[in-house]
């Protein structure tokens, strides 16, 4: 799939380059041709008028210009009466050429004569009947133009080959983030399917057990039904987390930015965790003394704290301590959630924000969770232009420090 895409991108680039090069080659060639021929035309004009008025007739003066110039004067019958000093052939050999042009209706043009092509200009003589015909041998111009065309075409082809490799390289580079996000998406779908399959199997097995004992009462089978219910809740949480991240990926997850009291919001969240902390035998402390007004999405910031406190309580054994801190600085606020729990090994720390990443799968399996909580937390922090720092000491505890900059209303 990416092979084809790269080829397509490369070919598009090369086609555009080829078109531009073609314009350049044709343009340069046409301009050069026009200039060379105009120059010849002008010199022929000068020569014809000088010869016509019989003032100057030395073509050597013009011979510094790349071409051979000469003129011939005729009488009223087309017979040569006078010529310039430098002639490419003897006068008699030129008679048929003059005769042909003399009888041509147009006063300028090109004529092929003895393997040469001449450009000519026919001007009537002022003093006597007849014409002065000035010639220019176009051989050298044609040679110059031929060489120019070969050079331009060769240069163009070399450029095209280079453009092909450059385009391939650029296409490869441009595709790197696409490849990465495609791979991420593939992994995400695979992980999501895997995570959904487990609770679905549990529900199915439990319901089959219930179905296998139709004579039993609901109360007597409540164990299986409760397992099913628990797994359904887990699935529902998983699906809503997946939906959140899918929306975030497609930029559909938006924030509702408004001014709110951050300390009050955090207070509300911590209070909602108190019953759980009490039943788990964990001390839950908070220092939310200062009043802080903050511009942000209050709901999402509460969700962020729910994720962090939920983890802190989940991974802290009975008798431990979980602390929530809030500090207001000039340009940002700092939320700290620390626990005295099991901690995280240093090698796992950089990965805990990845989707579906759970430090010890076997151990985590015993604790409720989807492995998506911190990925969602990270999105919330990033979308508020904030930063998160995690420090942990295995066996001693973990601390999450979140800095969220104070924003203007415009966000
Ligand atoms: P989960 O639903 O498994 O908690 P998260 O994304 O919230 O998923 O966390 C990812 C992993 O990071 C967890 O499985 C856990 O191993 C580790 N983790 C997160 N918070 C803590 C914490 N406070 N103490 C110890 N480990 C933690």
How many angstroms separate the alpha carbon of residue 235 from the centre of ligand 1? 18
> How far does the centroid of ligand 1 lie from the alpha carbon of residue 142, in Å?
80
Give ranges for CATH 3.30.450 in the chain: 2-146
Strands 321-328, 283-287: pairing kind: parallel
State the CB neighbour count (10 A cutoff) for residue 299.
14
Q: Is 117 helix (H, G, I), strand (E, B) or coil?
A: strand
Mean pLDDT in residue range 326-331: 92
- Tell me how far CA of residue 254 lies from CA of 23, 243, 299, 384, 407, in angstroms: 47, 13, 12, 11, 16
Which of 311, 361, 372 should be mutated for ligand 1, with most atoms under 8 A from CB? 311
**Confidence (pLDDT) at 135:** 87
Give the per-residue pLDDT at 62: 46
Atom of ligand 1 nearest to the CA of 360: 16
**Most trustworthy range by pLDDT among 46-50, 64-68, 231-235, 318-322:** 318-322
Q: How far apart are CA 238 and CA 196, in angstroms?
A: 8
Nearest to 394 by CA among 356, 354, 359: 359
Please report the pLDDT score of residue 274 as a whole number: 94
CA of residue 68 to ligand 1 center, whole Å: 90
Q: Would you say 393 and 307 are in contact if contact means Cβ atoms under 8 Å apart? A: no
Query: 217: helix, coil or strand?
Result: coil
Q: What is the DSSP letter of 333?
A: E
Select from 374, 379, 391, 396 the residue to mutate for testing ligand 1; criterion: most ligand atoms less than 8 Å from CB: 374
What is the greatest pairwise CA distance in the chain? Answer: 135
Tell me the percentage of the chain whose pLDDT exceeds 70.
Answer: 94
Given a cut of 80, whether residue 376 has pLDDT beyond it is yes
pLDDT of residue 331: 92
Which pLDDT band, with edges at 50, 70 and 90, does 49 fall under?
Answer: confident
pLDDT, mean of residues 384-391:
96
Q: How far is the CA of 358 from the centre of ligand 1 (A)?
A: 6
Length of the chain counted residue by residue: 411
Q: What is the pLDDT of residue 92?
A: 82
> How far does residue 278's CA lie from ligand 1's centre (Å)?
21
Write down the pLDDT at residue 381.
Answer: 97
Q: Give the per-residue pLDDT at 335.
A: 96
Structure tokens belonging to residue 408 = 């203007």
Label residue 12 by pLDDT band (50, 70, 90).
Answer: very high
Query: HEC profile for 235-287?
Result: HHHHHHHHHHHHHHHCCCCCCCCEEEEHHHHHHHHHHHHHHHHHHHCCEEEEE
The SS3 assignment for 340 reads coil
Q: Give the pLDDT mean for 39-63.
A: 67
Nearest atom (ligand 1) to Cα of 367: 3
- Which range among 126-135, 355-364, 376-385 shows the weakest confidence by mean pLDDT? 355-364
Query: pLDDT at position 153, please?
Result: 93
Distances (CA, A) of 236 to 47, 111, 243, 361, 369: 97, 90, 11, 21, 12
Ligand 1 centroid to 285 CA: how many Å?
A: 20
Residue of the CA atom closest to atom 7 of ligand 1:
373
336/326 Cα distance (integer angstroms): 6
pLDDT at 65 over 50: no
**Range of 33-42, 123-132, 171-180, 386-395 with top mean pLDDT:** 386-395
Q: Whose CA is nearest to atom 2 of ligand 1?
A: 369
Number of H helices, E strands in the chain: 8, 12
DSSP state of 370: -
**Mean pLDDT, to the nearest integer, of 375-401?**
96
What angle do the packed helices 373-383 and 298-314 form, to 10 degrees?
A: 150
Tell the CATH topology of 2-146: Beta-Lactamase (3.30.450)
- Contact criterion met (CB below 8 Å) for 339 and 398: yes
pLDDT greater than 70 at residue 66:
no
**Any idea which of 2-11, 133-142, 370-379 has the lowest mean pLDDT?**
133-142
Which residues surround ligand 1 with Cβ inside 6 Å? 307, 311-312, 315, 339, 341-344, 352, 357-359, 364, 369-375, 398
Query: Is residue 283 predicted with pLDDT exceeding 90?
Result: yes
Calculate mean pLDDT across residues 60-69: 51
Going by C-beta distance under 8 Å and a sequence separation of 6 or more, which residues neighbour residue 222?
none
**Of 47-61, 78-92, 314-328, where does mean pLDDT reach its minimum?**
47-61
Looking at the chain, the domain(s) classified CATH 3.30.565.10 span 258-410
Nearest to 352 by CA among 368, 336, 376: 376
How many angstroms separate the alpha carbon of residue 352 from the centre of ligand 1? Answer: 7
195's tokens = 């995570």
Looking at residue 57, what is its pLDDT?
A: 46
Higher pLDDT, 55 or 202: 202
Substitution site in 317, 358, 367, 390 for ligand 1 pocket (most atoms within 8 Å of beta carbon): 358
Per-residue pLDDT averaged across 350-367, rounded? 78
Q: Which residue's structure tokens are 């070969």?
A: 150
The arithmetic mean of pLDDT across residues 104-112, rounded, is 86
So what's the pLDDT on residue 284? 96
Side-chain half-sphere exposure of 308, counting CA atoms within 13 A: 31
Average pLDDT over residues 71-91: 83
Mean pLDDT over the full length of the chain: 88
**Ligand 1 atom with least separation from CA of 353:** 6
Concatenating the DSSP letter of every residue in 62-88 gives: TTTSSSEEEEEEE-TTS-EEEE-S--S
Confidence of residue 63 (pLDDT cuts 50, 70, 90): very low
What is the topology classification, in CATH, of domain 258-410? Heat Shock Protein 90 (3.30.565)
The pLDDT score that the predictor gives to residue 374 is 96
Q: 60 pLDDT exceeds 50? A: no
Residue 111 binned pLDDT confidence (cut-offs 50, 70, 90): confident
Quote the ligand 1 centre to 84 CA distance (angstroms).
Answer: 101
**Torsion angle in degrees (nearest 10) through CA of 75, 79, 84, 86:** 170
**How many whole angstroms separate alpha carbon 114 and alpha carbon 224?**
109
Residue 70 CA, ligand 1 centroid: distance in Å: 96
Q: How far apart are CA 333 and CA 400, in angstroms?
A: 14
| Whole-angstrom distance, CA of residue 208 vs CA of residue 186 | 32
pLDDT, tens digit, for every residue of 27-44? 999 999 898 888 888 888
Query: Nearest residue CA, atom 18 of ligand 1?
Result: 311
Report CA(312)–ligand 1 centroid distance (Å). 8
Over the stretch 192-218, which tens digit does the pLDDT of each residue have? 898 899 889 999 999 999 999 989 898
Is pLDDT at 351 greater than 90 in this prediction?
Answer: yes
Pure H helices in 137-221: 139-212
Q: Which residues contact 181 (CB under 8 A, 6 or more apart)?
A: none
Closest CA to 333 of 248, 261, 397, 281: 261
């Amino acid at each position: 799939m990416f092979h084809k895409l790269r080829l397509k991108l490369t070919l598009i680039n090369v086609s555009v380059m080829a078109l531009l090069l073609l314009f350049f080659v044709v343009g340069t060639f046409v301009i050069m041709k026009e200039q060379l021929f105009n120059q010849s035309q002008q010199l022929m004009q000068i020569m014809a008028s000088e010869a016509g008025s019989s003032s100057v007739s030395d073509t050597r003066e013009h011979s510094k210009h790349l071409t051979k110039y000469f003129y011939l004067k005729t009488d009223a019958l087309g017979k040569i009466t006078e010529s310039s000093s430098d002639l490419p052939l003897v006068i008699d050999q030129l008679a048929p050429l003059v005769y042909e042009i003399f009888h041509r209706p147009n006063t300028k043009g090109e004529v092929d004569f003895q393997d040469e092509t001449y450009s000519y200009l026919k001007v009537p003589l002022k003093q006597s009947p007849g014409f002065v015909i000035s010639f220019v041998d176009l051989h050298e111009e044609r040679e110059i133009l031929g060489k120019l065309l070969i050079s331009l075409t060769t240069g163009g082809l070399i450029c095209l080959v280079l453009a092909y490799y450059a385009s391939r390289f650029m296409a490869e580079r441009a595709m790197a983030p696409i490849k990465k996000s495609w791979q991420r998406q593939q992994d995400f779908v695979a992980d999501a399917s895997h995570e959904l399959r487990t609770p679905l199997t549990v529900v199915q097995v439990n319901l089959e057990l219930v179905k296998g004992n139709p004579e039993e009462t609901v109360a007597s089978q409540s164990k299986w039904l409760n397992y099913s219910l628990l797994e359904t809740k887990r699935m529902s949480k998983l699906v809503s987390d997946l939906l959140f991240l899918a929306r975030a990926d497609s930029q559909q997850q938006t924030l509702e930015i408004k001014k709110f009291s951050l300390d009050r919001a955090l207070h509300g969240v911590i209070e909602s965790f108190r019953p759980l902390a009490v039943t788990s035998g964990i001390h839950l402390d908070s220092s939310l003394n200062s009043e802080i007004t903050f511009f942000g999405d209050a709901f999402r910031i509460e969700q962020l704290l729910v994720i962090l406190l939920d983890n802190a309580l989940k991974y802290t054994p009975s008798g431990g301590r979980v602390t929530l801190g809030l500090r207001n600085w000039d340009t940002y606020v700092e939320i700290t959630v620390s626990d005295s729990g099991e901690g995280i090994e240093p090698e796992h720390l950089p990965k805990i924000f990845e989707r579906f990443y759970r430090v010890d799968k076997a151990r985590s399996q015993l604790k409720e969770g989807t492995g998506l909580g911190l990925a969602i937390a990270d999105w919330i922090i990033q979308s508020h232009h904030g930063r998160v720092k995690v420090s942990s000491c295995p066996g001693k505890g973990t601390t999450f420090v979140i800095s969220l900059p104070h924003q203007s209303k415009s966000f």
